[in-house]
Amino acid sequence: MSVLLISTYDLGRQPFGLASPAAWLRRAGAEVVTRDLSREPLAAEDIDRATHVAVYLPMHTATRLAIPVLDRIRTRRPDLPICAYGLYAPLNEQLLRDHGVSTVLGPEAEEALVNEISRSPNPQISKSENLEIPKSPNPQIPKSPNLQISKSPDLQIQHQIPRFQFLVPERQGLPPLQRYAALRMPDGSERVAGATDASRGCKHRCRHCPIVPVYDGQFRVVALVTVIADIDQQVAAGAEHITFGDPDFLNGPTHARRVVEALHARHPHVTYDVTIKVEHLLRHRDLLPVLAATGCLFVTSAVESVDDRLLARFEKHHTRADFVEAVKLTRQAGVTLAPTFVAFTPWTTVEGYRDLLDTIDELDLVEHVAPVQWGLRLLITQGSRLLELSDIQRLVGPFDSKTLTYPWVHQHPHVDALQQSVAQLAGVRATQPRGELFNAVSELAGRHPGAHPPPLARAAIPYLNEPWYC
């Protein structure tokens, strides 16, 4: 029984979504081959040797890249069982089946994947209900009142998303961490970066978020000992920085605090970054100094807009004023804030775009914004809650199986033209200093640089050198 696990793209990170099911499948007795196509080729012999294939689809770009891969596998092996799993698999089930996928699973698919393969003829693999799952190895976390290993009070009991004990991901067979996105420091040096998840899913239901149609307000924590054991093995492999891939690190604030304190106690030289909602930055402001003290280099936050009307449409549950307050709080705590935006939407105006640029300039955040952010256009995917809005229903065209979106055109062509120009500029000059690119974008938008003159010297910030976002 040889299972071929494939990832096409995962934000430049060594895929947790291959390493985690690999642990389950190997524990059940399967031979597992992992292929991350963002870093290594898929050889014909990989396909020929496999008895089963499972393709990991955590995001939009990964799914688009997977379609020709599925076609190639199906052409070469017409009878080979193919499973698609991950966040974007159930959102695009019919399309995936049209391209030869026989089984579609959602996120948290580890147990279901073992069971699916065990049902095939002559599986030579144990069903998960007969699979003894040992306790995660105790990483000898130092004793501390804040490091007790117990069930987090923030954990919600759900029934839609599977509930199981995560195993420590098995990363052997994946390309080394040194081949993935690195952390670039202000002095120009780079650090090897690893990545893991301390929780999965999200408590919130932001209208534009692709996580919502699948999780619908649910989230799962990964046991503290499992998270730390995964970090341990990546540090042993050379990681000097860890990215936590949680959609929102403070969905479970008690669990989050235990994780970062344990990480810092075991590996005080290792830094990390997290993603946190503006709403949570304000609500849990007492945790910001804890993040700073335990090695958090920056916090990514999906601000999306500085227009309160648009934020209300997205149901972000924060305002422009909240964003400004979050900037103040993070600065006071000594944590760098890296905001992200959906700069172009059906409701964007050129004046509104200039206001976004002005606001970022006034808050001295130009160096904090990745170039790709200035040209991002709203994606309306399958199952999106944006389709609940009557004006969106009137605006979008039929679902496009090539872009995996419902296409829309702005009522003012010059706004779409600006977006295309900015996106092209950001793509061509992705490695240009952020301040220079910001000035070029400002010029395209017709913004007057003299209105808010930048400081003589902006502070560069650490960031991951991966240019793509979604």
Q: How far is CA 167 from the centre of its chain?
A: 20
Give the list of residues 6+ apart from residue 80 with CB closer than 8 angstroms, or none.
47, 50, 51, 52, 53, 73, 74
- Give the number of C-alpha atoms closer than 13 A to the C-alpha of residue 449, restricted to the C-beta side: 13
Look up residue 163 and give its two tokens: 């509930």
Distance, in Å, from the CA atom of 89 to the CA atom of 37, rounded to the nearest integer, reads 18
Write out the DSSP string of 106-138: -SS-HHHHHHHHHTSSS--S--GGG---PPPPP
Distance, in Å, from the CA atom of 6 to the CA atom of 268, rounded to the nearest integer, reads 34
Phi, psi of 418 (to 5 degrees): -65, -45
The fold for domain 177-464 equals pyruvate-formate lyase- activating enzyme (3.80.30)
Question: What is the maximum alpha-carbon separation in the chain?
Answer: 72
Look up residue 108 and give its two tokens: 């948290």
- Among 311, 150, 296, 315, which Cα is nearest to 217's? 315
**In the 8-state DSSP scheme, what is residue 11?**
T
**3-state DSSP assignment of residue 405:** strand
Look at strands 31-36 and 2-7 and give their pairing: parallel
Cβ atoms of residues 167 and 180 within 8 Å: no
Residue type, 112: A
pTM tops 0.85, yes or no:
yes
Q: How far is CA 16 from CA 87, 169, 194, 353, in A?
A: 13, 7, 10, 36
pLDDT of residue 297: 97
Give the list of residues 6+ apart from residue 190 with CB closer than 8 angstroms, or none.
182, 183, 184, 465
Spell out where 130-202 has E strands: 183-184, 190-191, 193-196, 199-201
pLDDT of residue 460: 77
pLDDT in tens, 318-336: 999 999 999 999 999 999 9
pLDDT in tens, 185-231: 999 999 999 999 999 999 999 999 988 888 888 888 999 999 999 99
**3-state DSSP assignment of residue 394:** helix
Cβ atoms of residues 40 and 175 within 8 Å: yes
Give the domain ranges of the chain.
2-125, 177-464
One CATH from 3.40.50.280, 3.40.50.150, 3.90.230.10, 1.10.3720.10 for 2-125: 3.40.50.280
pLDDT of residue 118: 83
Residue type, 386: L
Overall residue count recorded for the chain in this entry: 470
Q: How far is CA 428 from the centre of its chain?
A: 23
Angle, to 10 degrees, between the axis of helix 413-428 and the axis of helix 350-362? Answer: 40
Spell out where 164-248 has E strands: 183-184, 190-191, 193-196, 199-201, 219-221, 241-244
Q: Which residues of the chain have pLDDT under 50?
A: 132-139, 141-159, 450-458
Instruction: Please name the residue that has the structure tokens 């970066």.
Output: 193
Distance, in Å, from the CA atom of 15 to the CA atom of 36, rounded to the nearest integer, reads 8
Spell out where 250-378 has E strands: 271-275, 296-304, 336-341
Give the list of residues 6+ apart from residue 307 with CB closer than 8 angstroms, or none.
320, 347, 352, 355, 356
Q: How far is CA 187 from CA 38, 130, 293, in A?
A: 28, 53, 21
Q: How far is CA 157 from CA 150, 220, 238, 253, 280, in A?
A: 16, 9, 36, 16, 21
Distance, in Å, from the CA atom of 339 to the CA atom of 312, rounded to the nearest integer, reads 18
**In the 8-state DSSP scheme, what is residue 377?**
B
Phi, psi of 6 (to 5 degrees): -125, 135
Distance, in Å, from the CA atom of 257 to the CA atom of 260, rounded to the nearest integer, reads 5
